[in-house]
Structure formats: C-alpha cells, structure tokens
Amino acid sequence: MDAVEKIAKPVHQSDFVKVIAWLGSGLVIAAIVLTGVRVLSAVLLDPRTPFTQWFSIALGEAFWVSVGGLLMLPLAVPALLAWVRVARRWKRMDTDFPVLIASLVVLAGLLALVAGMVSSWEEILPSRTGSFGTSTFNIALDILPGAAAALTLPRLLIPMLRRGTFATEA
C-alpha cells in the first residue's frame, strides 16, 4: 500500500458517529458553560442587574452560542475527522492528557481563525475601509472560548469520548 492509499483510506463509520456526538455534546456543553459565565459576569460586574433579567441574558447567550456552533459545523466536522486521522498515527496526541488538550485548543484556534476569515470577507472589498486582518483576529478572539470549550469539555466529561478513544481503535 503506497502513501496515497494510506492517506485516502475511508473514514470509519464509528469515527463519523463519534465526531458528530462530540460536536453535538460540545455545542450543548459550550452553550451551558458560556451562558453560565455570561450570567455570572453580568451579575458580578453590575450587582444592580435585576433578577428578572437573568433569564433573558441566559436565553440570549445560549441562542447566540448555539447559532455560532451550528454555523461552524461545516468547518468543524472535516477538521475533527482530520484530527482523528492524525491522532491515530500519533497515538500520544489522544492518550497523553496535556498533548490532547493542547492539540484541541490549537485546533479550536485554527477553526476560530478560519471562521473569522469567512466572517470578515467583506473587508477585502475595495469600497470598505476596515482591515481584514484586524477584523479576522477580533472575530477569532470572540469565537475561541466557545470553540475551545466545545472541543475540550466533551473529551473530559463524556465516557464515550474519553482520552484514548481514537488511539485504541484500528
């Protein structure tokens, strides 16, 4: 089997199912965590925030995190399938805890950067005065916490996705 055949091997169906479960659970976990952080920050930064507004703050944050996560799915599915392929070749990436977390945070950063580029496309037009790089970077910084939470927390919390899941299968 030559190098091209090794790279072009089809993805296992169980990998695809696990990646979809990973992303679905990550979307839910990220929405819960980021919503909680947003409500806590609203309450702690402005103690005068009435209790009646907490629900609307939580609902709004959960909505926008969910929409952002759903819009990133076309980028995230192939990226995670590629990550699984690399993790199978370099087993330490899936079994060693610090390497696992670092690789997922780097992947989240790359996904956030690509999403920022896609979102900033209009800055390239000659009629616009904004900077493409600055816009891309600012959007990526906004996306990074949700992407990092959605990629790392399911691997820590869900038994089906615990470390070593992809390294042990052939």
pLDDT reported for residue 159: 84
Contact in structure between 146 and 65 (CB atoms under 8 Å): yes
Following DSSP, what letter does each residue of 117-145 receive, concatenated? HHHTGGGGSTT--S-HHHHHHHHHHHHHH
Q: What is the pLDDT of residues 87-141, one digit of tens each?
A: 888 889 888 899 999 999 999 999 999 999 998 888 877 777 778 888 899 999 9
Q: What is the pLDDT of residues 126-148, one digit of tens each?
A: 777 778 888 899 999 999 999 99
Q: Side chain identity at 102, as an amino acid letter? A: A
Contact in structure between 100 and 155 (CB atoms under 8 Å): yes
Average pLDDT score over residue span 18-27: 92
**Which two structure tokens, joined as six digits, stand for 134?**
């600055």
Indicate if the pLDDT at residue 26 is higher than 90.
yes
Among candidate residues 141, 22, 41, 37, the one with its CA nearest the CA of residue 84: 22
pLDDT reported for residue 11: 54
Give pTM, 2 decimals: 0.82
pLDDT reported for residue 167: 75
Indicate if the pLDDT at residue 12 is higher than 80.
no
pLDDT reported for residue 169: 61
Contact in structure between 51 and 39 (CB atoms under 8 Å): no
Contact in structure between 99 and 164 (CB atoms under 8 Å): no
Q: What is the pLDDT of residues 35-81, one digit of tens each?
A: 999 888 888 888 788 888 888 889 998 998 889 889 899 999 999 99
Among candidate residues 94, 80, 77, the one with its CA nearest the CA of residue 169: 94
**Which two structure tokens, joined as six digits, stand for 70?**
């759903």
Distance of alpha carbon 66 from alpha carbon 20, whole angstroms: 15
